[in-house]
Structure 1
C-alpha cells in the first residue's frame, strides 16, 4: 500500500533523470538529457491543467512513488494524440509473393515501408521500473495505471491505442537494426540518432529516409534477425500488453526495429472490465474481497494503487466496499468515486 502511481511534477526531475540514466538508451520517452526531461515535465504539467474534451497533442507523465519515503521507483507516459506536431513514423513489414514459371519457384519477399499510419492514435509508453522493484506486482501497477487513467479521462483519448516496445540493443548500447539500415542514410550512430529524436523530434527522418520500400533481403543478417523483436528486458512488458489485448501486426520502430503493438482503446482489458462507483462502505477487514487495481481523482489529483475491493449491487444503488485502512492510506472517503478492476 505504500507504493502508488500519481502524476509527475517538476520536482521529480532529479529522480526521473536518474532513472533515465539506468535505461541503457533506446528509451525515446525517457531521454538521458536534463533539459529535454525538464521540457517533458513542463509539457505534462500543462496537460494536467488543461480543460479539453477531445484528444489533443498532450503528454501525461506518471510516476510510481513510495508514499512513506517519497522515493520515485518508476515512470510511464500516456500521449493523447500522436502525429500532431510531426508525423508518427513507423516501418510496415509487407510481404510480396513473386512467381517464376521458368524456374518453377515462388519467392516471398519482405519489404519495409515508411508509413505514418498511426497518426491520430493515442500511445502508452515510457514505462521504466527501477531494477530493484521488478517484483511484487509493481510493474503491473505502473503499466495498468495508464489504462485506468485513460478510462477516467476517456474523452481525452483516441479510438486506437498503441505501444512501441524497445528493440534489441547490443551490449555497447548500439542497435543492429539501425546499423544495418539507418546509419547508411543518416551518418550517425544509433545513440546519436535516438538522442536527437528525443530532444528535437523525428522530422529529420522524413527529410533523409528513403521514400521507397527497403527490401529486407538486402539488409545484413544482424539487422534482419531483430526486426519485430523486443529487447530481452522488454519481453515481460510485451506479455502484459498481449494480456490487455494488444497485438503486433507488422509495424516496427524506425530506429531499433522493435515491435509496435496496437488495440482499440475500448477493448483494452483494464478499460473494458473496470467499474467506477461511489464508495458505499468502509469495512475493518478485507476478508474475502478480491485483490484489485484502484484509482481515484481526476487529472493532477489522479492516484492508482493495489488494494482490495468488492462491488455491491444494492436494491437502490451499486457501489464499492473498501477496507477502511487501505482507503484511509490513500485519502479515500465515503461517497468518493473510485474505479477498480481485478488485479
Structure 2
C-alpha cells in the first residue's frame, strides 16, 4: 500500500472524529468532539489560504492518506505561535536551596512552578496513527513530514519549537499527577478537565490554579513518580524527538505531568538537513531512502521515496513521483530517512 501526507480539509471531519475516539483520553489536540474538530479544520483551512509569509497565530492540520483507497489513517498538527488566544501554561521543575548556619544543614527542595515561559513558541502535536497502521514507519513519516513543512514555510514559524508528550494515564483513564496536584483544587476528574480544556481552552487554570510553587516532596508517591514521564505509547515518540534535537528542560504538562520537549527551530535535525532541488529525473532506480515533500500550504504532500542528489538537482523514483504528482523540473524537498 502507498501512503502520503496532505493538507487536511473540512471533508476529513468524520475520519478524524473516528480516530479521536481511539485515543483513550489525555489527547488535548485531538478531542472526540465533532464541533471542536470542525473548528480546527476551519482554522487550518484559513491558515492554508493565507498567503503572507509572516508569523501569526495559526494551526495547520495534516492527514495521512492511503493513496489507493483514499482512507485517512493518521493525522498531525502544527501550531505556529502558542499562547496568543489564552496563556500557555506549563509547570517547570526547579530546585530551591536553603542553608541554616545554626544547624549546619543545607536543604534542597524540588518545586513545580506555574509558568508561561514557552508562550510564543511553535508547537508540533496532535500526532495520531490508526492502531491498524502502526507498522512500516508511518509514525516516523507523520512526525518528520511536519519538519519538512516547517522548512518549506520557515517564515511562518517561531524560533523555538515545542512538543508535549502525553503523561501517564492509569487503567481507569485517570491521571495520578492530576489527582495529586490540580485535581485537589478543581473538584473535577482528569477526564473532565482534559475534555473541557480541549473544547474551551485552559483559561480556567488561570482562574482557579494556585500560583504558589508546589513542593514535590508534599505530593503522594503516585503523583511524584510520574512527573516528566511519557505515556508508554509515547516513549518511541520521545526517542524520535530526542533524535531530532529536542530536549526535556524540566517543563511538564499541567494536566498529566507529561514531558514538554523543546528545541531551537533551526537546530531540529530534519529542518536543518532539509534539501530543496529541481527534479532532473523521475525514474530513479536505487538511491537512498528519504522523505520527499512538495507543494505550498494547502497543496503540501509528502511520502517515502528514493532520491539521489547530484550538484543540487534531484532524481526520484517513479512511484513517489506519481504519489506526489511530480515530474522533471518540479521542486522537491527531501530529508534522508
Sort the TM-score into its range (normalised by shorter chain): over 0.9
Show structure 2 runs of 5+ residues with no match: none
Q: Displacement, 1:301?
A: 0.3
Do residues 324 (structure 1) and 306 (structure 2) align?
no
Under a length normalisation based on structure 2, what TM-score does the superposition of the two structures give?
A: 0.98
Classify the secondary structure of the residue corresponding to 1:24: coil
**Greater displacement, 102-111 / 67-76:** 102-111
Coordinate RMSD, CA, aligned? 1.1
Instruction: Kindly provide the CA deviation profile for residues 111-134 of structure 1, in whole angstroms up to 9, marking residues without a partner as x.
Output: 111110011110000011111211
Match of 1:19 in 2: 19
Match of 1:336 in 2: 330
Q: Displacement, 1:101?
A: 4.0
Do residues 286 (structure 1) and 285 (structure 2) align?
yes
Q: Give the Cα–Cα distance (whole angstroms) in 2 for the partners of residues 330 and 110 of structure 1.
A: 51
Q: Displacement, 1:103?
A: 4.1
Classify the secondary structure of the residue corresponding to 1:110: strand
Match of 2:293 among 295, 302, 305: 295
Q: Give the Cα–Cα distance (whole angstroms) in 2 for the partners of residues 275 and 269 of structure 1.
A: 12
Instruction: Kindly provide the CA deviation profile for residues 83-119 of structure 1, in whole angstroms up to 9, marking residues without a partner as x.
Output: 1011100001011122334444332201111110011
Match of 1:86 in 2: 86
Instruction: Kindly provide the CA deviation profile for residues 219-241 of structure 1, in whole angstroms up to 9, marking residues without a partner as x.
Output: 11110110000001100000000
Q: Give the Cα–Cα distance (whole angstroms) in 2 for the partners of residues 310 and 174 of structure 1.
A: 49
**Greater displacement, 265-274 / 106-115:** 106-115
Classify the secondary structure of the residue corresponding to 2:171: coil
Classify the secondary structure of the residue corresponding to 1:120: coil
Q: Give the Cα–Cα distance (whole angstroms) in 2 for the partners of residues 119 and 29 of structure 1.
A: 17
Match of 1:248 in 2: 248
Match of 1:307 in 2: 305
Do residues 28 (structure 1) and 28 (structure 2) align?
yes
Q: Is the 8 A contact 2:4 2:65 kept in 1?
A: yes
Count of residue pairs brought into register by the alignment: 337
Q: Map residues 122-201 of structure 1 onto 2, 5 A cutoff.
A: 122-201=122-201
Q: Give the Cα–Cα distance (whole angstroms) in 2 for the partners of residues 326 and 57 of structure 1.
A: 33
Q: Give the Cα–Cα distance (whole angstroms) in 1 for the partners of residues 144 and 30 of structure 2.
A: 18
Do residues 106 (structure 1) and 106 (structure 2) align?
yes
